[in-house]
Amino acid sequence: MKNYNQTEIQKRLISLSDEDFAQTIKNNFPEFFRTDGKNVFFGISIGAGWRPVLWELCKKIQLLRRPHNFFFERIEEVFSGAKFHYGLEAVSEDLCGMISDLVSEYEKKCYNICALTGEYYEEKIVQGGTVYHVCLESFKKLYGGYRNVEMAEECVEKQRLADRAKRLMFYLDLERTKNILAQIEEFSA
């Protein structure tokens, strides 16, 4: 796991209670979280580690938007990542495209940021068809008593070795690469 040196603001956002964070982000970006009868905000339901990502997204959108054109409808965890549901009112196609691209970019960032700690990680933990949205250390803390931690460690180690093998394959000629892959396929059959 890589520590990407969180700023003091990021650390503070992660440490806030759910209620305090919701109030803080609504106070700083009130136009994005409105309940004016027409547009109702349904809430934030993401891990504390993803709060800095949401905060950064709000700051970027604030630089792009025209007054009262963008608003969040709900923010939630979906498929081991964050989903930022939003609405736009009467904006140009260019602005709509820029916002859509920006939201997608920040949703993708969450796939490699631990939902609990906000730390960057590369290896996914998969058990029984479930992909967990936390790093290995957080997985151990959260599920140590009733999930198979050894299996999670093995899953992460396999991904690290596979990534290393992929990098090493670039140094081989095509024929040797094909031979190695054939041996792997034969072994796993």
Q: What is the pLDDT of residue 188?
A: 65
Q: What is the pLDDT of residue 99?
A: 87
Q: Is 185 exposed, middle or buried (0-12, 13-18, 19+ CB in 10 A)?
A: exposed
Distance CA 185, CA 189 (A): 6
Residue 53 tokens, joined: 């990502």
- Asked if residue 76 lies in contact with residue 82, where contact means CB atoms within 8 angstroms, the answer is yes
Beta-strand relationship, 130-132 and 125-127: antiparallel
Give the contacts of 134 (CB within 8 A, at least 6 positions apart): 47, 49, 114, 115, 116, 117, 125, 142
Helix then strand then coil, in percent of the chain rounded to 5, is: 55, 15, 30
> pLDDT in tens for each of the 189 residues of the chain?
444 567 888 889 999 988 888 889 888 988 888 766 555 557 788 889 999 999 999 999 888 756 557 888 889 888 778 899 888 876 677 888 888 899 999 999 998 899 989 988 888 887 777 778 888 888 888 777 666 777 777 877 777 777 777 777 777 788 888 888 788 777 765
Q: What is the pLDDT of residue 105?
A: 95
Which run of H or of E encompasses 140?
helix 136-143
Q: What is the pLDDT of residue 1?
A: 41
- Asked if residue 155 lies in contact with residue 136, where contact means CB atoms within 8 angstroms, the answer is no
